[in-house]
């Protein structure tokens, strides 16, 4: 667990908005060096200007986190500028909806590329740097936080690609935590599982690759987008509040970070069914009107 953040280095992907930007703002207040990573140049420039004005040392890089080559170059740049980071926030993510068989190969490649491979690259590249720093300095402490979702613990219908990507991040991070415990007491990990929080993830289409521009969304994808817009837009917990939770978790070596603990009731019923061997439960048991609305919309001519 990290107790003193002054002069420490944070690498944050998806730093131009949402959780990444809010964590960067907290890091700046705590006197951290900031490595801001985003695929959207204008958002990155704006974040860099704000955080440098707040007094932080900033390295800003436009990076597609799904690219091994771009992430390799990022890791080298971080090592040269600041040395091994102390806090790595593998946070970049995109949303996608629709019936699972209606997603194109490009849909799968885009969402898994950002949401899963982005985390894989962050873990693959920065963990060895952190472990080397820990070996060289008994006082070094490091922490990796990977952004999953409550969709990484549940299987809500009509958003299968996203669910698959986030389940992978939960599994990857749980395994990372266990693997780290085998080799060190100086580096740990957490998984962030937010529910509906206004972050801009429902506007992920702004960063879809150019080669996907000709793909027209299916009916189920349009319905999923509308539901996502409504749910995310009406979220009561802010990205800034979630960022506070992230820093609390880093300071207390808390693994699971939940923005909406009440949503765990659905996770409990899912795991009860897994243990009992019964069929998956109705995901809309607490809000049957939403499930009925979705069924009617999908079955309409």
In Å, how far are 61, 62, 193, 209, 279 from 145, measured between CA atoms? 19, 20, 11, 26, 33
Q: Does the annotation mark 162 as catalytic?
A: yes
Residue 34, C-beta contacts closer than 8 angstroms, at least 6 positions apart: 9, 10, 12, 15, 24, 27, 28, 51, 56, 57, 58, 59
The CA–CA distances, whole Å, from 79 to 73, 126, 179 equal 10, 9, 23
Q: Is the separation of the CB atoms in 23 and 246 below 8 Å?
A: yes
CB 70 within 8 A of CB 63: yes
Of 235, 223, 225, the residue nearest 204 (C-alpha): 225
Give me the sheet containing 87-90, strands edge to edge. 58-62, 33-38, 9-13, 87-90, 142-147, 187-193, 256-258
- The C-alpha atoms of residue 147 and residue 166 are separated, in whole angstroms, by 8
Catalytic: which of 162, 177, 256, 258?
162
Task: Tell me the catalytic residues.
Answer: 162
């Amino acid at each position: 667990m990290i107790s003193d953040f002054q002069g420490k280095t944070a690498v944050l992907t998806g730093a131009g908005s949402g959780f990444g930007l809010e964590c960067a703002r907290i890091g700046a207040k705590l006197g951290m060096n900031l490595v801001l990573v985003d695929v959207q140049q204008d958002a990155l420039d704006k974040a860099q200007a704000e955080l440098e004005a707040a007094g932080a040392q900033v390295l800003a890089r436009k990076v597609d986190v799904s690219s091994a080559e771009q992430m390799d170059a990022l890791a080298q740049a971080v090592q040269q500028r600041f040395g091994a980071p102390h806090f790595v926030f593998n946070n970049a993510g995109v949303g996608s909806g629709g019936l699972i068989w209606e997603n194109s190969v490009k849909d799968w490649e885009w969402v898994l590329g950002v949401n899963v491979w982005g985390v894989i690259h962050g873990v693959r590249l920065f963990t060895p740097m952190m472990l080397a720093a820990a070996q060289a300095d008994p006082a070094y402490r490091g922490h990796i936080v990977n952004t999953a979702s409550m969709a990484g613990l549940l299987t809500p219908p009509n958003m299968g690609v996203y669910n698959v990507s986030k389940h992978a991040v939960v599994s990857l991070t749980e395994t990372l935590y266990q693997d780290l415990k085998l080799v060190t007491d100086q580096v740990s990990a957490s998984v962030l599982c937010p529910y509906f929080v206004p972050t801009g993830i429902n506007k992920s289409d702004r960063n879809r690759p150019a080669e996907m521009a000709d793909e027209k969304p299916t009916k189920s994808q349009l319905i999923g987008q509308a539901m996502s817009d409504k749910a995310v837009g009406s979220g009561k917990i802010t990205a800034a509040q979630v960022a506070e939770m992230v820093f609390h978790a880093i300071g207390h070596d808390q693994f699971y970070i939940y923005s909406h603990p009440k949503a765990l009731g659905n996770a409990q019923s899912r795991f009860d069914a897994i243990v009992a061997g019964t069929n998956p439960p109705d995901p809309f048991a607490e809000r049957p009107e939403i499930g009925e609305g979705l069924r009617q919309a999908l079955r309409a001519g």
